Amino acid sequence: MRFEPEISDSENRGMDVAKAFLEPVKKKFPWITYADLWTLGGAVAVEALGGPKIEWKPGRIDYENDMDVPPQGRLPYGHDKPQELREKFYRMGFNDQEIVALSGAHVLGRCHTERSGYDGKWVDEPTVFSNDFFDDLTTSQWFWQKSPAGKYQFYDDEQDQMMLPSDMALLQDDEFKYWAHTYAKDQKLFFDHFAKAYSKLLELGIHRDSNGIARVNKFARNNL
Ligand code: HEM
C-alpha cells in the first residue's frame, strides 16, 4: 500500500489514518520494514482490544518500486455477493470457513460516509474484539436502506448499527450461514479460527525456509 494504484484504491480509503498513526514508530525504529510494521500493528491491535493472540513472524521486505503492485479489482467490495467473496478469497487460498471467520473483524471500527460511503458501526462496542458481529448479524432484524451518502446497506431498527451487503451475504449461502451461526454461539471457536485465518492472511506472499526465515520468491510476489 505504498505505491499507486494500490495506495489510492477506493477500497483502501482510510488506510492513510492507520498508516499515519504508525509513522512515529517507523521514525523511531527505521530498521523495521513497513510490511512488518503494518502487519504487526494489526496483530497487536486485535490482541490489545481483547481478541486472541495472533501468531506473527517478521521478515517481510518492502518493494522498492511499483513493479509488483497487485492490480486493482482484487479487493472485496461492500456490495459483493457470496460468489464474488468466494472468487476473491479462494484465489488467496482461503476456504468458506476462513472467509466467515475473517469477516468477524467487522466487530471493530466503523464505516465512514466520507470514505466508503457506508455509514455506522457494526456492533455496540466497536473497540472490543468479540463474536458480537455474528451474534448481531444472526439475531437482529436488518432493514435495507440508503446511507446518507446514497449507498444501500442494512440498518437495525434504531439505525444505530449497520451491516454491509457483503456481511449479509454470509447469511445468503448455506455454508457461510453455518459458520456465522456457529461463531455466534461459540466465541472461543471464533477466536481460534480467526487467529489462524488472520495469521495466514499476514503470511500471504511470504516464503520461509525450513528455519522460518523469510526468503524472496520472485515468481510468487505478484500473487498477493
Ligand atoms: C469480506 C470482505 C470485506 C469487505 C467487503 C470489507 C469492506 C469494508 C468496508 C466497506 C469498510 C468501511 C470503510 C470505511 O468506510 O471506513 C470496512 C471497514 C473495516 N474492515 Fe472490512 N471488509 C472485508 C473484510 C475485512 C477483513 C478480512 C478484515 C480484517 C481481518 C476487515 C477489517 C475491517 C475493519 C477493522 C474496518 C473498520 C475500519 C475503521 O474503523 O476505520 N475487513 N470493511
SS3 content of the chain, % helix, strand, coil (to 5): 45, 10, 45
Q: Which residues pair with 122 in a beta bridge?
A: none
Q: What is the pLDDT of residue 218?
A: 56
% of the chain with per-residue pLDDT over 90: 81
- In whole angstroms, how far apart are CA 45 and each of 28, 48, 59? 19, 5, 20
Q: Is the beta carbon of 110 within 6 A of some atom in ligand 1? A: yes
Q: Whose CA is nearest to atom 28 of ligand 1?
A: 105
Average pLDDT for 187-205 = 97
Q: Per-residue pLDDT for 194 more than 70?
A: yes
Strands 110-111 and 152-155: unpaired
Q: Nearest C-alpha to atom 10 of ligand 1 is from which residue?
A: 78
pTM of the predicted model as reported, rounded to 2 decimal places = 0.95
pLDDT band at 40 (very low <50, low <70, confident <90, very high): very high
Which alpha helices (DSSP H) does 130-186 contain, by range? 132-139, 165-168, 174-185
Q: Could you state, in order of their start, the residue ranges of all structural domains in the chain?
A: 4-73, 82-198
Residue 2 near ligand 1, beta carbon < 6 Å:
no
Q: Is the CB of 108 under 6 A from ligand 1?
A: yes
- Cα 61 to averaged position of ligand 1 atoms, centre (Å): 25
Which pLDDT does position 132 carry in this prediction? 98
Give the separation between CA 222 and CA 67, rounded to whole angstroms. Answer: 9
| pLDDT digit string, tens, across residues 42-62 | 999 999 999 999 999 999 999
Fold of 4-73: Peroxidase; domain 1 (1.10.520)
Does the C-beta of 198 come closer than 6 Å to ligand 1?
A: yes
Given strand 152-155, what is the order of strands in its sheet? 143-146, 152-155, 162-163
Q: Using the predicted structure, report yes or no on whether residue 215 has a pLDDT greater than 90.
A: no
- Topology of 82-198 in CATH? Peroxidase; domain 2 (1.10.420)
Q: What is the largest CA-CA distance in the chain?
A: 54
Q: Who's near 57: CB < 8 A, 6+ residues apart?
A: 203, 206, 208, 212, 214
Taking the mean position of all CA atoms in its chain, how far away is CA 126?
A: 15
Q: How far is the CA of 212 from the centre of ligand 1 (A)?
A: 30
Q: What is the pLDDT of residue 221?
A: 54
Any idea which residue has 471493530 for its cell?
A: 108
CB count, 10 Å around CB of 60? Answer: 20
Name the residue among 200, 221, 196 with its Cα closest to residue 89. 200
- Regarding the beta carbon of 78 and ligand 1, being less than 6 Å apart is answered yes
Q: What is the pLDDT of residues 77-91, one digit of tens each?
A: 999 999 999 999 999
Question: Count of CB atoms within 10 A of residue 91's CB?
Answer: 11
Mean pLDDT of 156-183: 98
Nearest atom, ligand 1, residue 112 CA: 15
Q: pLDDT (tens digit, 9 = 90+) per residue, 106-148? A: 999 999 999 999 999 999 999 999 999 999 999 999 999 999 9
Q: Looking at 53-57, 147-151, 216-220, which range is the least confident one?
A: 216-220
46 lines ligand 1 (CB under 6 A): no
Give dist(CA 113, CA 3) in Å, integer: 25
Residue 8 has what pLDDT? 87
CA of 106 to the centre of ligand 1 (A): 6
Q: Going by CA atoms, what residue is nearest to atom 11 of ligand 1?
A: 111
Query: What is the DSSP code (8-state) at residue 208?
Result: E
Q: How remote is the CA of residue 209 from the centroid of ligand 1, in Å?
A: 32
Handedness of CA 134, 127, 22, 199 (dihedral sign): negative
Q: How confident is the model at residue 212 (pLDDT cuts 50, 70, 90)?
A: confident
